[in-house]
Amino acid sequence: MIRTFDHTADVGFEVSKAATPGALFDEARQALLATMFERPPENREEVEPVRLSGPDLETLLVRWLNELVFLVQDLGFVPTGAEVRIEDVGNGGYNLEARLAGTPLDTAEHGWRGEIKSATFHGLRVTRESAGWRARVILDV
């Protein structure tokens, strides 16, 4: 489940009820695209691998979202689908491996809403609850 909210000069979203951390990160990808586009594309013409690591899930989520922003805004690749796997490597560290399916950026066709500077650590939360995994993210726009 995805819920957006306004934040002073920024925008945020919450994703919840994800069965796994990988599913949570994929929902965050979808929320990011819904923030960037009026009509997020669904085509899957290309595949892009992504590998990231972080000392905790919060840092990994920020790195993930910022990598997606880079792919869209700098490389013109819109990740319309993802297979995300997150591995706990011990000592609180995590690795992320993803295969992103996507399409070239077309700002007019997709209804580009504007640039996102980055995902932030402000108000960031990643928690496991009885209903599943939940995250709260604020994006600097």
DSSP-assigned letter for residue 112: B
Res. 141: pLDDT tops 90 = no
Question: How confident is residue 128, by pLDDT bands cut at 50, 70 and 90?
Answer: very high
CATH number of 2-140: 3.55.10.10
Summarize pLDDT for 13-70 with one digit per residue, the tens: 999 999 999 999 999 999 999 999 999 999 899 999 999 999 999 999 999 999 999 9
Instruction: Give the mean model confidence (pLDDT) for residues 109-128.
Output: 95
For the chain, give every domain's residue range.
Answer: 2-140
| pLDDT at 92 (0 to 100) | 79
Residue 80 has φ and ψ, to the nearest 5°, of: -85, -10
Lowest mean pLDDT among 3-7, 71-75, 87-91: 3-7
Q: Where are the alpha helices (DSSP H) in the chain?
A: 21-36, 57-73, 107-110
Token digits for 23? 């599913």
Instruction: Identify the H or E element spanning 59.
Output: helix 57-73
Contact 125, 63 (CB under 8 A): no
Residue 5 has pLDDT above 60, yes or no: no
